[in-house]
Amino acid sequence: MDKEHFSGQGRMTSGVTVVTATNKPLFMQNLFTNFKCQQWRVKEMIVLLNNDGMNIERYKKQASSFGNVSIYKLPAKWSLGKCLNYGISKAQYEIIAKFDDDDYYAPNYLTEAMLRLEKTEADLIGKNKFYMYFKHSSKLMLATMPSKNRVAGATMLFKKKLYPDVSFKHLRKGADMRFQKDSIKKGYKLAFTSPSHFAAIRRANQKMHTWKVTKKTIRLLRAKKIAQTKQYRSIVNQTSKQK
């Protein structure tokens, strides 16, 4: 699905704020690259450094070429949930997209999500099915969330109006799933985007990731092998039909 196709189907004037919390210097370039490539025009990114050893001035200089990236340094003792709430409070736009620092977001990721949000009139949107790519084995898999009322935490996009009625709990892990549970409990509408335009990337060294993927995880997600390839992006970037 190309940029022109999207531009003809929806208004690209609504703004979206991408919020990312990270404590890993190794993934900063990936974070910037994912944001820079997004075709959706009106956007900003808020980066929350959750590591006392990260040099905020270095990353501000790196981000200065974008003009729409704000970087804040928060205490390492803060939980992921507390960091995300801080990021939401700083957002200038009414739509919030949670990006993880270690995954792949294709150029049309935000465009698909924003247009789907408009079409479904949902409050919270994301991927119930999503791609997983294992770099060390060049294996691409398609995973499905265990619950029909959950989306992958790295793919959450929601209306800012949910906050602070719903906020991220002060948890280091599982804050995104709790946010979804609380949103649904309070009557907010959830909808799904296609599996396309995103891949959860995993590397041989599990310590590089907050979310550890084990054999048990693979079974729980009913993950099926799609391809053995180093060119996973050509598959992930293809548009899936969405009802």
Nearest in space to 94 (alpha carbons), one of 74, 116, 117, 73: 117
Of the two residues 38 and 6, the one the predictor is more confident about is: 38
Contact 193, 113 (CB under 8 A): yes
- pTM exceeds 0.85 for this model: yes
Confidence of residue 58 (pLDDT cuts 50, 70, 90): very high
143 forms bridges with which residues in the sheet? 130
pLDDT, one tens digit per residue, over 167-219 is 999 998 899 999 999 999 999 999 999 999 999 999 865 555 555 678 898 99
Structure tokens at 64: 């200065």
Fold type of domain 3-236: Spore Coat Polysaccharide Biosynthesis Protein SpsA; Chain A (3.90.550)
pLDDT, one tens digit per residue, over 217-233 is 899 999 999 999 999 99
Rounded CA separation 61/188 (Å):
39
Query: What pLDDT is stored for residue 204 in this prediction?
Result: 61
Nearest in space to 48 (alpha carbons), one of 24, 15, 65, 16: 24
Nearest in space to 131 (alpha carbons), one of 27, 234, 20: 234
pLDDT, one tens digit per residue, over 106-159 is 999 999 999 999 999 999 999 999 999 999 999 999 999 999 999 999 999 999
Nearest in space to 46 (alpha carbons), one of 12, 103, 85, 87: 87
